[in-house]
Each structure stands twice: as C-alpha cells, then as structure tokens.
Amino acid sequence: MTRNNGYKNRQIKSKGGGRTHKKPFEVRWATVTAEEARGDRVEISAARSATKIPWKSLDLTAGQHASLESMYESSSLGSPGTEIEDHTFSAVNDIQQNEAISRLTAHGLNETALEDVTCRWSVKWAATYGSGEHAGCRTLYQCDCGREHTQFGSKKRHTAYNFSGCLAHAEVTILVKSGRIQRIHGYFHHNDECKQAVISRMPPIPLHPSVYSVALKQLHEGASLTAIQARNRELFRAQAYPGQPSHEDFHSSQYRWIMKGYDTRALYRQYNRMIGVDTQKKPHINIDEWLDPKSSHYNPILAEAVFHYSARAALNQRFEVCVATQEMKEAAWKHGYQSQIMLDGTFGICDSKLLLFILMAVDEKGKGVPFAFLLFSAPSGNKQTSSGYDTEILTKLLQKWRADLEKLKGRSFEVLVAVTDTDLKERGALLVVFPGVLLLICKFHIRQSWRNYRNKVLKGQSPLLMQTKARLKRVEDELIQTTEFSKAKALLHKEREILTVMKVDSETTSAGERGLLHVEYLDSYWCSESLWQSWADFGRRMASLRLKCTFEGVLPTTNHLESFNGLLKRKHLQRWQRGGRRLRIDMLLQILVLKVLPSIFEQRHLEAMEDQRWIARIQALPGGDEIIKGRTSTVILGPVVAYLVADQQRDQAATLLLQQGCLSAPAQYPQGIYFNCYSSLRSQHEANPIMYQVQLFYWGSASCTCSDFVHRGGACKHIRAALLRMNFIRQSGSDFPLIQLPRSETEAQLRQLSCMETSRKVSMLDDAPIAQAAASITDLLNEVPEAYIEGDLDEFVSGSQELANIECEDDAESVATDAEDELDFTIIKSSKEALDAQSLARFTHEARTAAPKLGDLAAILPDHEVNMSYDQLNDLFTFRETLALLLHKVDRMLPSNHASKKSQPDLTLEDKENVPLVIGPSQRSRAVIVPERQALLPPSPEKSQKRKQSYSFH
C-alpha cells in the first residue's frame, strides 16, 4: 500500500472570494501492484492513480461549490450512487485506446470536437509531470454552461451558451509525446437546461496555434506588436503558415488566421510562461523565488548575475537587487580599477517606485561601459521617486559591489577618480566606500546649477538684464577654466567691483544689485578652496597626474552615463514594453540580465573581433603596416582657417557690434589690416573690458583671438564686422584693397597652404584611451551657447546631438586661463573637505530661508496643552523628532565653548512607519529565505511621471 500526500499544506486560492487558505492534511490509499512493488516501471503509478481532480480550480458559484464538495466527499467515503467516473487506459493497448477515444468523442472532448466553434468545453487548469517518453499532461475542462460570468467581475457574457448551473467537468491525462490517453476522470452529467441549450451569441473563434508560434518567436527577438501584425498579414497572404488551408478550403477552417487586438493578451501570457515569468504572482514574489536556492523556481543564471538581493519584509525596509554580470565585472577590473568612474541615477524604468544607479567608465574607444546596476525601491510614503534615496543606501550598495569585485580577483579594488553631478548623497557614498578617491563635479551639472540661480535672481527680459546675465555667464566660464585659486577670487572681485559701480548708477541699480547677489552666491557657495578644486580645471589637472594621462583624458562630464540612461529607456527597454506601459520589476530584471546586458557586451565583442580581422587583412597588404601605425596618430594641417559661409545669426551679431561702436579704426601693416574689437558684453562701468584682435590678410584670409574662431574657424562675428567696416570704407572712396574670404573650408585650406613658404604636417601623439571622448566633450562645453543652455534639457544627453545643434551666440565669448608650468598640482585639498564645504554651504543657504519660517511657526503655536487628533499628534511627534535630530547635528558641529546643551533625538517616540520586522534584510549576496511568503512586501507602485527641467542651484 502507498500513501499520497500531494496536497499537504498546499495553498489554495479561491476563485470567487480571493481568500488564501491551507488545505488540511489528507491521507489517501491506493493499491500497489506487484510490478510496482518490485520497482518495475508501470504506466500509471499507484500515487498517480490516487490523485484527485482539482475541481476547486473550476469557476463555480457558491451553490455549485457546495454541490460538488458534497459529491466529492461522498465519493471519497465510497458512498453508493456517486456519479464521478474514473477510467484508466493502457497507452500500449490499441483496443483500450480506441475505447478511450470513443468515450471522449461521446462527451465532445475529442480533438476534432474541441476545435469546433460549437464546443462547450473550456480549459480551466493544466499541469505537466514526468520527462521524456513518460512526460504527461493533466487538463481540466469545464462545461461553458456552468460558468456564471457576473461572479467574476465581467459585466458582459462572452460565452456562446447561457448559464445553466451545469456541474459537468472532466480531467483528461495524456502522454505529451505520443498523445496516448491514460486517464479520463470527471463528472459528465449535464443538467436538462444545459442539454437543451443552443448558441445564444457569437462564439469565440480561436487563433490557429501556428500564428501564435510565429508571433512568440518574434516576441522572443524583441519585435514590436506592429511588426508582429505586419508579419502576420504577410504570411497569411502568402499562405505560408503551417496547416493554413488553400483559398478553396478556407471557408471550412475552424480557426482564425489574422490576429486581432484582443489576441495580444493571450499572446503575452504565453510568452511570459515561455520565459518563466508567472504573471499570476506578484513580481517581487517571482524575484524572490528565482533567487532562492531552495525554491523550485530557482534561476541560476539570474542568481549568478545578482550580487546582492534584499527582500522588503517591512514598511521601513527597501527592496534591493543589484546586478553585475561576469562581463561587467571583468570590464570593471579592466577599465575602472585604479582609473576613473562615473555614478548617476535615474528613475521611471518600471511600474514601481524603483531607482536605478549605474556605475560606468570609458573604454579604449571612448565608449561608456556599464559596471553595475544598483536597483532599490523608494521608502514608504515617498512622493517623488527621484528623491527617494540617501547616502546610507548608496553606501551600502556600493560596498556590496566593491566586495563582490574583490571576491572575484582576491585583491582590493581601488578607484582613483570619480565624476558625479552636484548631488551630496552620491559624493558622500563614494567617499565612504573609496576614502582616497578624488571627486570631480560634472561641468555640465555645475553650469546648470549656476544658470538656474542666475535666472532666478536676474528674472526679466530687458536688454540690460540680458547683458548682465551674459556677462555673468562669461565669468562662470572663466571660473571653470581657472587653475589658480587666487585667479578665481580675482575674477569674482573684478566683477563685484563693476556691479558695485552699476548699483550706484540710478539707471542700472536693479541690475547691479541682482548681479551682486549672483556673484555672492558663486563666491560664498562654490568658491571655498577645497570645493573649487572639485569643479575647476585645477581638479582635472590633479586627476591627470593621478591617472597618468593627459589633461584631456580626464572626463569633464557624466555625459556618457546620461546618454546610456537614455538609450536604456528609449531603446533597450522600450522594445520590450507592451503598449508603452512600463515593465514589471520581475520582467525588468529578466530583460536586463538575459537580453539587454548580453546584447551590449556581445556587440562590443563582435566589433572587437571585426576590427582585429580587418587589421590583420590590412597588415597583410603592401604598405598595410604603415596604415595601421598611422591610425595611432593624428595629422593636423596647420591652424584653423577662415572662410565665409551664410550665417544669419553671426551676421546680425556683427551688425550689432558696429552699432555699439565696438570695432576700432583699421590699422594697415605689410600683410593686411588690423582691428581691435571690444566684447559685445562690455559695460560702461568696466575699466578694462575684454578686447579681441582681428586681422584681415591681403591674400584672402583672416584670424581672430575670440574663442569662437579658435575652436571653429570659419568667420566669427568679429571678422564679419571687420569685413562690413572694410566694405563701408571702400564704398566711401578709400583705396583699401578688396579682401575676399574663401567660401568653403577646403578652399581656405588650399589657399593657406599655397601662401605658406613650407607646408609641414604636425603629428601629435595619441592620448590615453579615454582622451578622445573627453576632448570632444571639452570642446562642447567651451562652445555651448546661452540659447542652448537656457533651453529644455532632455535626459538623453548625446554628445553628437549637442555638437550638431550648437550655434554661435554673443554670450559664448570667454577668455581661456592657461596654467603656468610652475604650478604645483600635487597640493590639493581632500575630497572630504570639499564635500564638507559643499554641505555647509548648502545648509547655510537653506537655513537663511528656513530660520525665519521656523520662528513664525513658534509664534503660531499656543503655549499650553491643547486637544489634538491622532493624526495631528503623529505629525507633531514627527516634526519634533526632525528638529531634535537637526539640533543634535548642529550642536556637534559647533565648538565646545559655543555649543549649548547637546540635544539628543527623543528615541522614546515611536515612528509611525516603524512596523515590527518580520524578517531582516539578507546579509548574504543571494536570496532572502523567508518563513512565510506573505511577509514580503512589494515596492510602492509608480505613478506616471515626466522628466522635468531641473531648477535646482545646489
């Protein structure tokens, strides 16, 4: 005898009420044959024959459920008169198989009847077992007349037959490979109303399986729904589907062959089952099972890629999962070890409040390489996902990442330089994990902060305000280029003097006052020496010494990472989204590990192989070695050249220069004509305004000392203004010769070469691997005009797109501050001092605004005890705790002789979100094992949020 306890402690979910309960332990007895007792293989084991029909998976009303429950209880007790049929058949006995087919045909359950549109049986449950030749499938069918649609939330009945309360159902067990029938088990008696039922509405016509098969293959390759539907129409027209009837026989087909909109739901469900995602479960439960070695759904591929996972078991915990594949770890050691990295975060990648922080560096080709994905949920009650993180969580995950890398190689993983935006939390976390790292601030983000404050204090569109804003922007550009702290202070002092004079002048008082506010902001907030070293060129020069590369080899921005964030959302993840809806967390994890990251690194590997193949072929050709060697050097044909092309914006700026009287009188010399041109941003209150030197050569060339010409060539607004002045002088009767510039860059280069006594090519040594990408970004930052900077910024920052959109602007003028050779760049403040300075500057700025408001609150509150509601009491407790913590930190910063009595946070107050822990976060790098699955909590759902322009000046 044997015992089947397959239902012990199994969780059953009721279809109707949605309640979860445990089925009690049940002992069932079955007779074991002599063959099975000897250990011989039998067709149906005693344990298999003792299994019961999972009738609770049927769609039943309360009355139907009670009837079937009574019926099955009577059957289990062996009571006479029960009508539950149970027939077993030998798979190798053809006579028994014919009998099984006859029984199925009699009940309308044979293959042909099930495919007919008039079929009244629907599949409600299915399960497979075994493997190979002995793999079987159990399928539970229910009569359509026995399902009452309104009980399950459907207002409209779609089933072809009306509801009659029929209890008929059947479980059919077949061998998957041969299709042989092993068992027919069920209740086959339809009630009278069901027997007399006729079709009452249009029956659903199923889509042919071959259509689903092709569509599933396309989905697996990441095809969009539009592409799937187009392929469906193409194959249908060509009659290329397996089993598709000819046009003559098409009218007798029991299937549809054209996909409709409502077919996508079944298609996506089949696809999710195919890749192992159970959409009937909560996403965080799926992830927990995939990463739990003790789970039957354990996924070793995902578990290997996830170096840290912590389930959310209480309201005050976070969901955490960190990903780094083997390729990412190898890339981190190759491109990030004792080198420079970038760190930045993004959000809006899935349907939950999940933040993604990415670690990245640049490879030898100047392309970004991701090292790790740090995913974690925003805390409970967080309203803005983008702010749902702090230094503690970033520190924790960065430490996990570093420990995982060190485990791989068995030695310490060090980072020399890290580039981030102005975020204090990111910078603080990097300092904790890598104490010796040199922290640099992204030039783009610090310019953005300065621009936001400048627009705030100089709000308005008057010409005077616009000119003042342009002047201040030029000062900001010069500040970033400084390599001596004294020069940075001198720039601010000079601008402060000019604005002070403007403040005294009654016509420019407002602009002067507001301009002084911005200068004070730059000086007091950003120009402490330690913080200045983080964003000025001094810090980049120090980083170049650490990295042993050129100055251009140090990344000035996080643009590579910003660009990758955009690619990830708009290219890699978007192709897997359905109808533009954000992915579930479990789907996101699967797609990142199994699709996105492998495709990125496979592309890199294939490109490298292709490059090596072509290098080998070229080297085999005569002269090929010289060509390959020439790829490692850059040939420059002299300096930039002047040529005149149509440019309405620069022409207008040139006319404005003449109207403002910025251009001096011409001075002749043997080779041409010389002009001095004042900056269009000069002020009448400025003692020594910036001046540029313009030269027009008689042989048809020109030059200018402004940054526009130095970086681009062509014809800047100063050269155009000089040409306009010369045309005016000649028209007035003067005998100055006509000077005409070439109309293209090629023509200008040929003309310049012909005028040179000797032409020589200057070969420059190749920079460090990351120099090319860094240099292009440096040029971009030097050339970005005010019109572009002030515009909307999309989160997908692409260097090539930015370069394509750059136009000249009056505000783009700047004077480069060259570093002197004798400067000692080894004398640098620590990044910790810079972070402390930035933190204190931000606190001071915020405190100036917050302190008066807190004083007003003190005046509002009564001085005696009052009756309060529970919510008001909680709010007051929370506010008091926050103030106590703030006061405690302020007291710690104050000198001991100035500090008042240290104020400790009141730990006796209970946090309303501090729910008792069911289970703590995992201390291991793999899955959390929880005693009760219900203890796991999902991240909060993410509402639709759009990327907004940043107006922060911190």
Q: Which residue has the higher pLDDT, 67 or 766?
A: 67
The percentage of the chain sitting over the pLDDT mark of 90, rounded to a whole number, equals 39
Whether residue 338 is found in the same domain as residue 194:
no
SS3 of residue 583 by DSSP: strand
Whether residue 304 is found in the same domain as residue 270:
no
Q: Kindly report the three-state secondary structure assignment for every residue of 280-296.
A: CCCHHHHHHHHCCCCCC
SS3 of residue 731 by DSSP: helix
Strand pairing partners for 354? 377
Q: Residue 418: pLDDT above 70?
A: yes
Q: What angle do CA 935, 936, 940 make, to 5 degrees?
A: 130
Whether residue 304 is found in the same domain as residue 369:
yes
Q: Residue 805: pLDDT above 50?
A: no
User: At which residue do the structure tokens 């533009």 appear?
Assistant: 580
Domain end call among 181, 202, 223 = 202
Q: What is the pTM of this model?
A: 0.67
Is position 23 within any domain?
no
What is the 8-class DSSP label of residue 682? -
Whether residue 62 is found in the same domain as residue 193:
yes
User: Can you read off the two tokens belonging to residue 851?
Assistant: 């302190």
* Alpha-carbon span 915 to 910, nearest angstrom: 10
SS3 of residue 33 by DSSP: coil
- pLDDT band at residue 374 under the 50/70/90 scheme: very high
Is position 300 within any domain?
yes
The closest alpha carbon to 100, from 86, 84, 115, 113, belongs to 86
Whether residue 589 is found in the same domain as residue 491:
no
Decide: 455 and 472 in contact? Cβ < 8 Å: no
Q: Residue 225: pLDDT above 50?
A: yes
Domain limits at 743? Answer: 648-765
Decide: 388 and 407 in contact? Cβ < 8 Å: no
User: Can you read off the two tokens belonging to residue 543?
Assistant: 């980083």
pLDDT for residue 632: 56
pLDDT for residue 138: 93
pLDDT for residue 796: 33
Domain end call among 250, 274, 298 = 274
- pLDDT band at residue 631 under the 50/70/90 scheme: low
Decide: 807 and 785 in contact? Cβ < 8 Å: yes
User: In this predicted model, what pLDDT tens digit does every residue of 11-63 receive, in sequence order?
Assistant: 334 334 444 444 555 556 667 777 777 777 777 777 777 788 999 899 899 99
What is the 8-class DSSP label of residue 489? H
For residues 720-731, average pLDDT: 91
pLDDT for residue 896: 64
Is position 69 within any domain?
yes
Phi and psi based region of residue 173 (left: phi greater than 0; alpha: psi -120 to 50; beta: remaining): beta
The closest alpha carbon to 910, from 887, 882, 877, 879, belongs to 877
Whole-number mean pLDDT of the chain?
Answer: 79
Whether residue 452 is found in the same domain as residue 423:
no
* Alpha-carbon span 101 to 123, nearest angstrom: 18
Q: Residue 471: pLDDT above 60?
A: yes
Is position 718 within any domain?
yes
The lowest-confidence range among 461-470, 528-537, 828-837, 875-884 is 828-837
- pLDDT band at residue 381 under the 50/70/90 scheme: low
For residues 676-685, average pLDDT: 83
The pairing of beta strand 691-697 with beta strand 672-678: antiparallel
User: In this predicted model, what pLDDT tens digit does every residue of 749-768 receive, in sequence order?
Assistant: 888 777 764 434 333 334 44
Whether residue 516 is found in the same domain as residue 371:
no
Q: How many residues does the chain have?
A: 954
Q: Which residue has the higher pLDDT, 86 or 883?
A: 86
User: At which residue do the structure tokens 């004083």 appear?
Assistant: 855
Is position 4 within any domain?
no
Q: Tell me which range, 183-197, 263-277, 685-699, is most confidently predicted by mean pLDDT.
A: 183-197
User: Could you give the maximum distance between any two Cα atoms of the chain, in Å?
Assistant: 128
Is position 894 within any domain?
yes
Q: Tell me which range, 241-245, 314-318, 688-692, is most confidently predicted by mean pLDDT.
A: 241-245
pLDDT for residue 897: 59
Is position 381 within any domain?
yes
Whether residue 290 is found in the same domain as residue 310:
yes
Whether residue 425 is found in the same domain as residue 303:
yes
The closest alpha carbon to 816, from 683, 709, 934, 660, belongs to 709
Contacts for 150-154: CB closer than 8 Å, 24+ residues apart: 151/16, 151/59, 151/61, 152/15, 152/16, 152/59
pLDDT for residue 684: 74
* Alpha-carbon span 592 to 573, nearest angstrom: 8
Query: Structural domain tally of the chain?
Result: 6
Q: Residue 710: pLDDT above 80?
A: yes
Whether residue 582 is found in the same domain as residue 436:
yes
Q: Residue 331: pLDDT above 60?
A: yes
Is position 849 within any domain?
no
Domain end call among 223, 257, 274 = 274
User: In this predicted model, what pLDDT tens digit does every residue of 893-935 receive, in sequence order?
Assistant: 777 655 444 444 443 434 434 333 333 333 344 443 344 444 6
Whether residue 748 is found in the same domain as residue 788:
no
Whether residue 308 is found in the same domain as residue 411:
yes
